[in-house]
């Protein structure tokens, strides 16, 4: 339970950070526990975290501001171990070096600064820029589905000292960030995100479509638009073939009959001349 001093200080800091949030950062205390704060960091431009959505917690001690909070980032980032306590000069790993004048905004700005560096500490991990961009692209999906466990969630929430892992179906994130969660689901629908993997899928009707556009189906069922188009194509081809054959080919029976008639006529004339 927070002391009166901690309660007063954190209430004032919530008002300050709500009215003047630092760039790329938003934060608020839990409705049920003012010592449990939730933050969202939006990945800055010109970093491999660009447009990523990174959710984490600050767990303050009851005697704050005379001791620092435990700092965790739950969203996989390729920079920190998810939900692990981070060893920073502004975290509970170093209570003696913490300055009571530092505020929540100071702590989160320091966390963002460390995140975009390559410094190594307890809780940090090595990763390539490509890997971190992949994590950034799937961060909204991870937050709102609990890492793809949304469909099988039983609705339970892990309250273990801010330690949130994949598997809760996004329940904890949704309870703390309901408006952001709705935006995430809309974003996933618009971008055809596979809820099981977080990977964007091709819209139905576009997969396998060639660059030359749709092809005519000559074998389409009669009566449909495809069948009508097929018949039209056949008619045009037949007309072109008929035009190429010429008058002589098209009237061959008449020509043969005329030749026979002339032959018979000549034979009779010759026969009569011999009598």
* pLDDT the model gives residue 168: 82
Mean pLDDT of 10-23: 97
Neighbours of 218 (CB within 10 A): 12
* pLDDT the model gives residue 202: 73
∠ Cα 265 271 272 (to 5°): 95
Q: What are the residues whose beta carbons fall under 8 Å from the beta carbon of 78, sequence distance 6 or more?
A: 48, 125, 127, 128, 131, 132, 134, 135
* pLDDT the model gives residue 201: 83
* pLDDT the model gives residue 204: 62
pLDDT tens digits along 44-68: 999 999 999 999 999 999 999 999 9
pLDDT tens digits along 235-259: 443 444 444 445 555 565 666 666 6
Higher model confidence: residue 262 or residue 41? 41
Average pLDDT, the chain: 81
**Band of the pLDDT at 213, cuts 50, 70, 90?**
very low
Delimit the domains of the chain by residue range. Answer: 4-137, 225-274
* pLDDT the model gives residue 229: 38
Its sign, for the CA torsion 6, 10, 13, 15, is negative
* pLDDT the model gives residue 69: 98
Higher model confidence: residue 151 or residue 197? 197
Strands 53-59 and 36-42: antiparallel
pTM: 0.72
| CA-to-CA separations, 203 to 150, 189, 198, in angstroms, rounded | 22, 10, 15
Start-to-end CA distance of the chain, whole Å, equals: 143
- Which residues are the active-site residues? 87
Q: To the nearest whole percent, how much of the chain has pLDDT over 70? A: 67
Q: To the nearest whole percent, how much of the chain has pLDDT over 90? A: 64
Buried b (16+ CB within 10 A) or exposed e, 56-67: bbbbbbeebbee
Asked if residue 233 has pLDDT above 50, the reply is no
pLDDT tens digits along 156-211: 444 455 566 666 889 999 999 999 999 999 999 999 999 999 998 877 665 555 44
Highest mean pLDDT among 3-12, 142-151, 251-260: 3-12
Torsion on CA atoms 225, 226, 231, 235, rounded to nearest 10? 100
Cα 148 to Cα 131: distance, rounded to the nearest angstrom: 19
Beta-bridged to residue 186, according to DSSP, are none
Its sign, for the CA torsion 153, 154, 156, 158, is negative
- Write down the CATH superfamily of domain 4-137: Ubiquitin Conjugating Enzyme (3.10.110.10)
């Amino acid at each position: 339970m927070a002391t009166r001093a901690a309660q007063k200080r954190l209430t004032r800091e919530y008002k300050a950070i709500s009215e003047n949030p630092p760039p790329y950062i938003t934060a608020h205390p839990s409705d049920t526990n003012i010592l449990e704060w939730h933050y969202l960091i939006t990945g800055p431009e010109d970093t491999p975290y660009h447009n990523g959505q990174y959710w984490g917690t600050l767990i303050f001690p009851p005697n704050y501001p005379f001791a620092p909070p435990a700092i965790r980032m739950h969203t996989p980032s390729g920079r920190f171990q998810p939900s692990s306590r981070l060893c920073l000069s502004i975290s509970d790993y170093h209570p003696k070096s913490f300055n009571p004048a530092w505020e929540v905004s100071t702590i989160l700005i320091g966390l963002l600064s460390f995140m975009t560096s390559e410094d190594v500490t307890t809780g940090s991990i090595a990763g390539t820029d490509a890997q971190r961009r992949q994590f950034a692209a799937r961060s909204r999906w991870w937050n709102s589905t609990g890492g793809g466990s949304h469909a099988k969630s039983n609705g339970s929430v892990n309250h273990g000292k801010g330690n949130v892992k994949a598997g809760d179906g996004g329940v904890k994130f949704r309870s703390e960030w309901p408006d952001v969660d709705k935006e995430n689901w809309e974003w996933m629908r618009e971008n055809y995100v596979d809820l099981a993997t977080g990977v964007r899928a091709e819209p139905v009707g576009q997969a396998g479509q060639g660059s030359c556009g749709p092809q005519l189906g000559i074998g389409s069922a009669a009566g449909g638009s495809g069948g009508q188009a097929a018949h039209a194509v056949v008619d045009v081809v037949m007309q072109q073939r008929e035009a190429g054959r010429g008058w002589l080919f098209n009237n061959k029976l008449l020509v043969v009959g005329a030749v026979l008639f002339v032959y018979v006529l000549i034979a009779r004339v010759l026969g009569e001349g011999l009598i």
